[in-house]
Structure 1
Amino acid sequence: MRADRPLVAILLLCLAQGAAAVSRLAVVGGTEEFRTHFTSALSAQLVAGGLPAPAIAAPRRSDLVLALGDEAFQEALHLNRPVLGLFISRNIALEAFTAGCACSAFFSEADPVRQLRLAQALFPAARRIGLITSPETSWVAGLLAPYAERESLLLVHTALADSNALARELPRLLPQVDLLLAISDERLYSEATARLILLTSYRQNKPVIGPDELFVQAGSVATSYSSGADMVKQAARAVLDFAERGWLPPPDFANVFSLRLNSHVVRAYDVPMVDPDALQRQLEAGQ
């Protein structure tokens, strides 16, 4: 359990004692095509898990609403039904949860601790980890600190107000670290800043881990992420638990995930041959 999740909020999430009927599901949000594929795949997962195929119902007639994305999640909170949000921004999910909603969510962001473990697996000699946050993501430093201390890693943390300071801060920070852990933060890590971050780090021979698939495609080494198929499996587990126990898990990072590596960048940093399947199993085993 994360330290920043109050116990009282967890207690508020207990929707019932014992099993809950989940014969009618509603899926809202996303494009119609994505929603259709998601619903079909979820039904197959639930049947494979031993639950009769649920009927797809209107939200107000459902036993549980699955909301895809922030907007759908926030709208679903007004339906007076239990809500499970998928691909939800962490701050939005936790704000609703601590306010006492009958809801839970899996965050759209990758788990920063898992990202750090991925960095360790690829660069075991790296001991000094660069971390840049904005005011919205300052919590990441606190989340990573206990793990870093256990692993004898040094977090070199810099807080910036916005991306305007990146051009000044990167040349100062990078010589002090072995790699840069790029986190999910639209204020700092975006399409507009990718070139600056990746070129500056490459010129100083400092690999970048994360924050997402787009950055890996542009030149960071690797990331973990939850695909649509991953989130189907994650949602199915939560629905099956809800049917069995009558409650949803607290909001959290998804623990069903995929990996994306940039093979060209991996070779450029002389990383030994990587078996993606073995790396995936290693990260899963440590969750």
Structure 2
Amino acid sequence: MPLLRLIMLALAYLLPLCVWADSIVMVAPRETALTRNFVEALSSRLPTDTFEVRLLSSTPAPDSASLLITLGQEALHWRLRQPIVTPTIATYVTLDGLQQLHDEVRPASVQILLASAKPERQIILAQLLIPRLDTIGLMFSEQQRWQTRFWQAAAIQRGVNLYSRGIPGQDQLPRVLTNVLNQSEVLIGLDDPALYNAENLKTLLLTSYARNRVLIGPSAPFIAAGSLSTTYSSPENMADSVIDMLQETWRPAAIRYPDRFSVLSNQQVARSLGLPPPDDAELMRRIHAQEQSR
């Protein structure tokens, strides 16, 4: 690699990316509604002559790019297989998917921006919705047991108890769910597709609400399905978070949650549980204020 190129890459880790990133390429596995929304949001925040979108099925990203932005798990796997040192922000990676990367080397030139809900943020939301909250319930499949350490740390930070139980098999879900609900005041869903999926949704919701317990969904789609509330990052939030990263000093091999987020609640579920209708904008403001106060 030419000496000049090496010097430029070294400087990239020391300077805000917006100073030098004159050629940004986004790599996506395919075109979807999410891809289009994210591309539109991101391109509107960048000079139009610096941003290009490539699909994995088309020409690979050029070596001349100053910065790569990958979208999703598949695109991140592609980037990790490339013999390049181009700084890369890997967006829309889930905690569930992150576990699948444990055998792959993550170089200093790659930062990961998670799409999963931030545990501490979800706990703050639960505390705002349920005053004097004491104990949070958590369930996980054996594959996702490793995530519980993040939730335990967040619970300690927020001064609440965490009652967590693993589910060894799908046939054990009703029994474990009932036990967790009996020992806690709110159930928070984590990023665990083996457990929080369409097949189990009816059991999760009906059992929770039959015991007058709140379910904080693991993602925005669960709100329309019947969970009470959640924090999430919209394509606009994710784009703003990427821009924030471009204005900071590079953090080698960092794994981060988006700084920007939204709150989405189900007003009908709140009424059925006898709770005040959530004001999503106010909840977001108060969560943000508590995060900033730290």
Same-fold call, TM > 0.5?
yes
Distance apart, 1:64 and its partner CA? 0.9
Question: Is 1:82 equivalent to 2:87 in the alignment?
Answer: yes
Question: Is 1:54 equivalent to 2:50 in the alignment?
Answer: yes
Question: Is 1:38 equivalent to 2:62 in the alignment?
Answer: no
Counterparts of 2:39 and 2:15 in 1: how far apart (Å)?
A: 26
The residue type equivalent to 2:113 in the other structure is: F
Counterparts of 1:188 and 1:221 in 2: how far apart (Å)?
A: 18
**Which residue of structure 1 aligns with residue 57 of structure 2?**
none
User: Of 14, 17, 26, which residue of structure 2 is paired with 1:17?
Assistant: 14
Distance apart, 1:82 and its partner CA? 1.8
Distance apart, 1:31 and its partner CA? 3.6
**Maintained 8 Å contact 1:46/1:240:** no
**Maintained 8 Å contact 2:113/2:257:** yes
Name stretches of at least 5 consecutive residues in structure 1 with no aligned partner.
1-12
| 1:76-121 residue CA offsets vs partner (Å, 9 max, x unmatched) | 2233122111101232597488643520111121111111111110
| 1:16-43 residue CA offsets vs partner (Å, 9 max, x unmatched) | 3345521111111154365455334323
User: Of 120, 130, 137, which residue of structure 1 is paired with 2:127?
Assistant: 120
**Which residue of structure 2 aligns with residue 256 of structure 1?**
260
> TM-score w.r.t. structure 2 length?
0.81
Identity of aligned residues (%): 25
Residues 166 and 14 of structure 1, relative CA distance in 2, 3 Å threshold: farther
User: Equivalent residues in 2 for 1:124-143 (5 A)?
Assistant: 124-143=131-150
Counterparts of 1:226 and 1:15 in 2: how far apart (Å)?
A: 27
Distance apart, 1:191 and its partner CA? 0.9
**Maintained 8 Å contact 1:66/1:85:** yes
Residues 141 and 74 of structure 1, relative CA distance in 2, 3 Å threshold: same
**Which residue of structure 2 aligns with residue 232 of structure 1?**
239
Residues 210 and 62 of structure 1, relative CA distance in 2, 3 Å threshold: same
Distance apart, 1:154 and its partner CA? 1.7
Distance apart, 1:246 and its partner CA? 5.2
Q: Which moved more, 1:133-142 or 1:250-259?
A: 133-142
**Maintained 8 Å contact 2:233/2:261:** yes
User: Of 244, 267, 276, which residue of structure 1 is paired with 2:280?
Assistant: 276
Secondary structure, counterpart of 1:230 in structure 2? helix
Q: Which moved more, 1:246-255 or 1:231-240?
A: 246-255
The residue type equivalent to 1:103 in the other structure is: V
User: Equivalent residues in 2 for 1:191-270 (5 A)?
Assistant: 191-241=198-248, 245=249, 250-270=254-274
The residue type equivalent to 2:150 in the other structure is: L
| 1:120-153 residue CA offsets vs partner (Å, 9 max, x unmatched) | 1001132121111123332333223244235442
Secondary structure, counterpart of 1:87 in structure 2? strand
Question: Is 1:175 equivalent to 2:182 in the alignment?
Answer: yes
Residues 18 and 236 of structure 1, relative CA distance in 2, 3 Å threshold: closer
The residue type equivalent to 1:119 in the other structure is: A
> TM-score w.r.t. structure 1 length?
0.83
Counterparts of 2:238 and 2:278 in 1: how far apart (Å)?
A: 25
Secondary structure, counterpart of 1:158 in structure 2? strand
Residues 117 and 63 of structure 1, relative CA distance in 2, 3 Å threshold: same
Name stretches of at least 5 consecutive residues in structure 2 with no aligned partner.
1-9, 54-59
Distance apart, 1:247 and its partner CA? 5.2
